[in-house]
Amino acid sequence: MQLTDKVAIITGGGRGIGRAVAIAYAAEGASVVIAARSNAQLDKVATEIAAQGGKILAVPTDLRIREEVEHLVQKTVEHFGRIDILVNNAGINPRGLFLESTDEEWEQGWQINVMGVVYCCRAALPIMQQQGSGNIINVGSGMGQVGRSNLSVYCASKAALHGLTQSIAEEVWEDGIIANVLIPGPVKTELSKPAWENSGTFRAQSDPWKEPEQVVASALFLATQSPATGMTGQILSIMRRNSP
């Protein structure tokens, strides 16, 4: 198994991509810690993983609150002793015209999509530095590279996330820690539901929407990278060319 003896924290682990990645990492031998705001979602995923013999810890966490993120990291270390992989997957996607966007939408988008990652990285990196190893995977978006109408909050926050990841990568590579971005492309999740529910105008053979499980292979690839591979500060995109 590829992740035997590794410990992975996955935010947004209660559904969608986070759930799929958590199940896959556990199947590959990792001890998995899932975080989300919904206890019910976390319990369901934890039950799935435990039933398959996986090592799992569910920690309800609101990423907007620094103390809760610090508690997540503390519980992980108390339970499993270390942190090898941090997958910052949680995010929100307010939609609407820029001129109609509200301060609350910008604050919420920034708090979760950017500051939640900042809190997670600031809490986990000292542990990784003590270990002399670590792997950060931030889930980005093609909309952080090319902006789209009606998605200004999301596009701006994902662009910030890409830059943040590359800055962190440059600062910690000498500590044996890598940081990369995974752009999963259009995936059928609750976050993207307004878009994929209305994608019927596309022909079946050109439909770009993937299931969360189709992201797993790339998430595993990044999780098995190390400073020895030289892959850090990179953006791995599995988007299709015909994405909407």
**C-alpha–C-alpha distance, residues 21 and 73, integer Å:** 19
Residue 67: its H or E element: helix 66-80
CB neighbours (10 Å) of residue 151?
20
CB neighbours (10 Å) of residue 229?
9
Do residues 93 and 145 touch, judged by C-beta distance below 8 A? no
Length of the chain measured in residues: 244
Biggest distance spanned by C-alpha atoms of the chain: 52
Phi, psi (rounded to 5 degrees) for 26: -65, -40
∠ CA 210-162-72, rounded to 5°: 85
Is 154 marked active-site? yes
Active-site choice (80, 119, 154, 209): 154
Do residues 3 and 29 touch, judged by C-beta distance below 8 A? yes
**C-alpha–C-alpha distance, residues 193 and 146, integer Å:** 20
Catalytic residues: 154
